[in-house]
Amino acid sequence: MDLNTFIRLYQEFLYECMQKGWSTEVLIEEFGNYLTAIKSMEGIEVQFFIELDRENCEKINDKTHQGNLKYGVLREKGKGDLFAKEVLDAFHQYWAKHSHKKKTSFILYKR
């Protein structure tokens, strides 16, 4: 999967979160790194992150590298546990439904 396709899927996932009544606020949005605060209708907030591991990329050729995706949810221990699991489950369901490849590796093209 290329990074542009992944970014589109990530943005669509955040839109789906808003459709569930959760509020979202993108805190960091830079090449390969995304951090979004997601708040439940009950006011519980977690931070959903996605990070492209560019340090451990595998070189395919001079202009193409393959890297791995790391993602997860940061939360206040105890209080946000259930909502964090709900967010991760929603992401996994969304990913399985919309991504043709279930593997979390990405192709990076250097210019």
Does the pLDDT value for residue 82 go beyond 80? yes
User: For position 110, what pLDDT does the model report?
Assistant: 39
Tell me the pLDDT tens digit for each residue of 26-44: 999 887 789 999 999 999 9
The angle subtended at Cα 44 by Cα 39 and Cα 47, nearest 5°, is: 55
Angle between helices 3-19 and 81-98 (to 10 degrees): 130
More confident residue, 29 or 58: 29
The count of structural domains within the chain is 1
Does the pLDDT value for residue 14 go beyond 60? yes
Looking up residue 23, the CATH number of its domain turns out to be: 3.30.310
Establish if 108 belongs to a structural domain.
no
Say how far apart CA 108 and CA 64 lie, in whole Å: 6
- The DSSP secondary-structure symbol of 100 reads S
Establish if 28 belongs to a structural domain.
yes
CA atoms lying within 13 Å on the CB side of residue 104: 14
* Domain of 41, in residue numbers: 3-100
Q: How confident is the model at residue 103 (pLDDT cuts 50, 70, 90)?
A: low
